[in-house]
Amino acid sequence: MATLQKRKSRGHNYWSIVESRRVNGKPRPVILEYLGSAATLLKRLKGGIPKKVRSYSHGLVAVMLNIAEELQVVPSINRHIKGKQLRDGFTVGGSLLLAAIGRVCNPTSKRNWYGGWARYTSLSYLLRMSLSKLDSQHFWDQMEAFPLSAIHQVEEDILKVLIEKEGITLDTLLYDTSNFFTYIDSNNQRCSLAQRGRNKQKRMDLRQFGLLLLVSRDQIPLFHQVYQGNLSDKAVFKDNFQKILARFKAIAGSLENITLVFDQGNKSKKILKNVDQNIHFVGALSPYQHKDLIKEANNNLNIISVNNYELECYRLRTRIWELDLTCVVYISEKLRKGQIKGLEQDIKKISAKLHKWKENIQQPTKKGKKRSQEDLEKKIKLLTTGIPENLICWRLEHLQEDAFDLDFWVDKKEFDLLKDHKFGRRILITNQHGWSTKEIILAYWGQSKIENVFKRIKNPFHLALRPQYHWTDQKIEVHVFICLLALLLVMVASKRAREKVGFTGTPDALLEKLSAIRLATFIESHLQKTKGIYKTVYRLENMDPDIKVLAEGMGLSELKLKTKIPFSVYN
């Protein structure tokens, strides 16, 4: 039964609603609601009407700040800044963290950071600092103050704290590269990173920079390197392999229990030999470079079950490029169907062009250079170089003058051979000889996780790395660091949501749900006209049941008075 209880403090009486409950077997008074003084209670009863009510997006920024505080992100950055780099009251580390949180919530330009996003969140409330002066010049100056030589050390410092607190699994690490096109002018000589190369988004007309990324099985970034956009994957892997090993040793202490997983485009004989001498690995080889191995596998396939999939595979221990390796050849039905569909599309395009040529060359030319059979044969061979040899057969027959008849067809026998005996094959290699075939395949399938990471940072709604709006090497590298810091915060939040509340959605879905947790601000009016500041009260808005469970699990059900992150030297 609840009762009213009076408590005297400094000569004033304060009231609470109290209920007696047993704590450790003994009755104890538990405060259900604090009512305040008699005057305050009277004001409540008379129903003071708020003068203003405002609502802010709260959950997502609060979670990001909580994680950043635990990982000591800002102190890790600030300790590498020479002197007291302070602008608009913010340290360099504080500004870079705010930029990272901006990439999480609403990737936008630095100019639009406050007006387009931050002013509609509870950041100012949580920091107890004004953010209105944080414009593009503020972020540019703070980014300029962050030395590139400190990036890898800051990453290591943050990761060491993260591994200690979160228990990140480091037994299998995933490696891959990608590139990002830019709108940097071709005549810009201040940027050496942005070069023209083979862009994965088909923007060959634009300059690009590359990004090497290493992540854990939880998709948490552990190492990155920005590189020139015209470098090959093999060159990048070779140039950075020792740096990767150094990062492993720094965060894990030993290489003994670590397995590196990488794709077939990152290796050569020399590179693979160096990897084999230093670390356990799972990689892939091109089936077109090892046709004898594919032929042997086709005659010895067995069926195994991997994650409820029935796979045809063949395993052997052999020497490849003078290395003792365990090799697994298996058939990926998804890859096989994709290759067949792609080949059918190529055949359709080539057939359409050949049919058009057939109509054109059946009549003699009236103007210009005369056709020759040799030139036509060269053009046809060039057109069919993009598909397997001998798949499209053709015959060119002279009619009259420079007119020819072209006949072409698809060799069905060759097409069936490709479908049944070549397509869908993957060759995996490893020096983990004690692993089962299933473990080797699952480790390689983990490569899809890092591919998802690159898709995530190319997502325009959350965590987008581009457009970067920077035109110098230093700014691009710091911008990438900010974006990957944002990715790290999100993946830690996703891991906690899975473990604490059983959240099964994607990281993007988690961000949307956290953004739906809002903070309401009530500015109360006085019963009588008075001078001074109006009282402000903060309350969380009512939430849907699933979001309420998420808020409680992520520690958002109780309002945090103020973050302890040292955004300013005065914190």
Mind listing the pLDDT tens digit for each residue in 443-469?
888 888 888 888 888 888 888 887 777
Nearest to 358 by CA among 374, 385, 376, 383: 376
> Does a structural domain hold residue 149?
no
Question: Does 514 score more than 80 pLDDT?
Answer: yes
Q: pLDDT tens-digit profile of 215-241? A: 988 899 999 998 888 888 888 888 888
Pick the last residue of a domain from 395, 421, 447.
421
Question: Does 300 score more than 70 pLDDT?
Answer: yes
> Does a structural domain hold residue 243?
no
> Does a structural domain hold residue 267?
no
| Range with lowest mean pLDDT among 304-308, 538-542, 565-569 | 565-569
What average pLDDT does range 282-292 have in this prediction? Answer: 86
Q: pLDDT tens-digit profile of 399-449? A: 887 788 888 888 888 888 888 888 888 889 898 888 888 888 898 888 888
What's the mean pLDDT when you consider all of the chain?
83
Exposure b/e, 102-134, CB count within 10 A at least 16 = b: bbbbbbbebeebbeebbeebbbebbbebebeeb
pLDDT value for 44: 66
> Does a structural domain hold residue 238?
no
Gap between the Cα atoms of 257 and 234, Å rounded: 25
Backbone angles phi, psi at 370, to 5 degrees: -75, 145
Pick the last residue of a domain from 15, 30, 47.
47
pLDDT value for 25: 67
For tokens 């704290």, the residue is 161
268 - beta bridge partners?
none
Gap between the Cα atoms of 453 and 177, Å rounded: 11
Q: pLDDT tens-digit profile of 63-112? A: 999 999 999 999 999 888 877 677 777 888 888 999 999 888 888 787 88
Cα distances (Å, whole numbers) of residue 443 to 213, 390, 439 = 17, 36, 6
> Does a structural domain hold residue 358?
yes
Sequence-ordered alpha helix ranges (H) in 224-332: 233-252, 269-278, 291-298
> Does a structural domain hold residue 455?
no
Q: Which residues contact 400 (CB under 8 A, 6 or more apart)?
A: 364
What average pLDDT does range 492-507 have in this prediction? Answer: 90
Residues in the chain: 571
Q: Domain total for the chain? A: 2
Q: Which residues contact 432 (CB under 8 A, 6 or more apart)?
A: 259, 280, 281, 282, 326, 439, 440
DSSP state, residue 238: H
- Domain span at residue 376 reads 335-421
> Does a structural domain hold residue 386?
yes
Pick the last residue of a domain from 384, 406, 421.
421
Determine contact, residues 219/237, Cβ cutoff 8 Å.
no
Q: pLDDT tens-digit profile of 183-209? A: 888 888 888 887 887 877 778 778 888
What average pLDDT does range 278-284 have in this prediction? Answer: 88
Nearest to 222 by CA among 441, 487, 508, 475: 487
| Range with lowest mean pLDDT among 181-195, 296-310, 519-533 | 519-533
Q: Which residues contact 360 (CB under 8 A, 6 or more apart)?
A: none
Would residue 541 be called left, alpha or beta, if left means φ above 0 and alpha means ψ between -120 and 50 degrees?
Answer: beta
Nearest to 72 by CA among 145, 155, 142: 155
pLDDT value for 488: 94
pLDDT value for 68: 92
> Does a structural domain hold residue 341?
yes
Cis peptide before 27 (omega within 30 of 0): no
pLDDT value for 56: 84
- pTM metric for this prediction: 0.81
* Residue 4, helix vs strand vs coil: strand
Question: Does 564 score more than 80 pLDDT?
Answer: no
Gap between the Cα atoms of 351 and 230, Å rounded: 34
